Amino acid sequence: MKLPRLILLIPLFWWPFAEPLAAGLELQPVTGKVYAIVGDLGNRSPQNLGNNATFGLVVTSAGVVLIDPGGSYRGAQRIHQVIKQVTQQPVVAVINTGGQDHRWLGNGYFKQQGARIIASAKAVADQKARSQDQLIGLTSLVGTAGVEGTDPVYADETFDQVFELTLGDTRFEIHHSGQAHTPGDSYVWLPQQEVMFSGDIVYVERMLGVGSQSSSKRWIDVFEAMAAYQPRHLVPGHGKATTLDHARKDTLGYLRFLRAAVAEFMDGGGDMSDIGGVDQSDYHYLLNHETLAGRNAQQVFTELEWE
């Protein structure tokens, strides 16, 4: 009598350890068949394979839709392992919400699985312009083995402002409202579930990055356009699924603060070489502030010189 029970227990006990490929990614249920796949808040590494971002998963009655495919071929494989914990349905569509590496460099893997790939035309142009730089940067951070199989693969279907998609029982609206963290950033709205996938328009828990591909000014407008949908659930580009209020605090609040603080610094005759003097301590609760705060201030300084 005891032997069969023991045999049953072994697979149950071992099951959580049978998915080593999914290491470093947390599956977070959002509502119904909508999930966030939450990756590292830090930089790209050999351990996370470039998946240092949050991705979205929607299981429809006509297959799986993935919002952002991960930052490398192997990173995409790892995301697929997480998806298989939820459903055996195929990934039929992948949406790239922007031009940063973790929004698109996993495309090649999912294209091989038969998925169609959708992105804004501006995002594809940005990906093409920066693909070589991104691959060089990625290789230096995740290593040659980590980037194995990663080739630039671009969207099959592009749009300028709005793309509507209905798959089985689920409706998706993809909106590009302008440049934010990158020139082609989009947000994905599920009107039935009132879920918003914001891509890099929203960072929570960690400090956002303003780069030379960003516009801190238009980012604020794009955030407001996204927020006007009043999402019940918000899946950010970085951090766990959360509320609009939390996104306002960590992203919109920081952007407004930073632009005002740098403008004040410039009005006081401050020079770029002293930009470290801009006090950002109110936002030191955000991870990565040590490496990003000074760079963000420099970038906003450059932007404001041209406004």
Q: What proportions of the chain, in percent to the nearest 5, are helix, strand and coil? A: 40, 25, 35
CB of 144 to Zn ion, least distance (A): 23
SS3 119: strand
- Give the shortest CB-298-to-Zn ion separation in angstroms: 19
* Choice between 53 and 105, CB closer to Zn ion: 53
- What 157-162 contacts at long range (C-beta under 8 Å, 24+ apart), as own/partner pairs, is 157/116, 157/117, 157/118, 157/119, 158/118, 158/119, 158/120, 158/121, 158/124, 159/118, 159/120, 159/121, 160/120, 160/121, 160/122
Q: Name residues contacting Zn ion, limited to 25-64 (CB under 5 A).
A: 53
- Token pair for residue 300? 């906003």
DSSP code, position 206: B
96, 100, 242, 251: residue in contact with Zn ion (rule CB under 5 A): 100
Minimum CB–partner distance for residue 101 and Zn ion (Å):
8
Query: Given the structure tokens 């009107």, which residue do they identify?
Result: 191
Per CB under 5 A, contacts with Zn ion among 169-198 are none
Closest of 238, 184, 210 to residue 304, by C-alpha: 210
Minimal distance, residue 105 CB to Zn ion, in Å: 12
- For the CB of residue 237, give the shortest distance to Zn ion in the complex, in Å: 5
Residue among 177 and 213 whose Cβ is closer to Zn ion: 213
Verify binding: residue 126, Zn ion, rule CB under 5 A.
Answer: no
Point out which span in 41-49, 54-62, 92-100, 282-290 binds Zn ion (CB under 5 A): 92-100
* Residue position matching structure tokens 């950033």: 185
Of the candidate spans 30-38, 94-102, 114-122, 293-301, the one that interacts with Zn ion by CB under 5 A turns out to be 94-102
Residue closer to Zn ion, measured from CB, 100 or 251: 100
Q: Is 200 in the site for Zn ion (CB under 5 A)?
A: yes
C-beta of 96 vs 100, nearer to Zn ion: 100
By the rule CB under 5 A, 158 interacts with Zn ion: no
Give the count of beta carbons closer than 10 Å to the beta carbon of residue 103: 31
Query: With CB under 5 A as the contact rule, which of the stretches 62-70, 87-95, 97-105, 159-167 interacts with Zn ion?
Result: 97-105
3-state secondary structure of 255: helix
Of the pair 53, 247, the CB lying nearest Zn ion is at 53
In the chain, what is the straight-line distance between the N-terminal and C-terminal CA atoms, in Å? 79
Which residues make up the interface to Zn ion (CB under 5 A)? 53, 100, 200
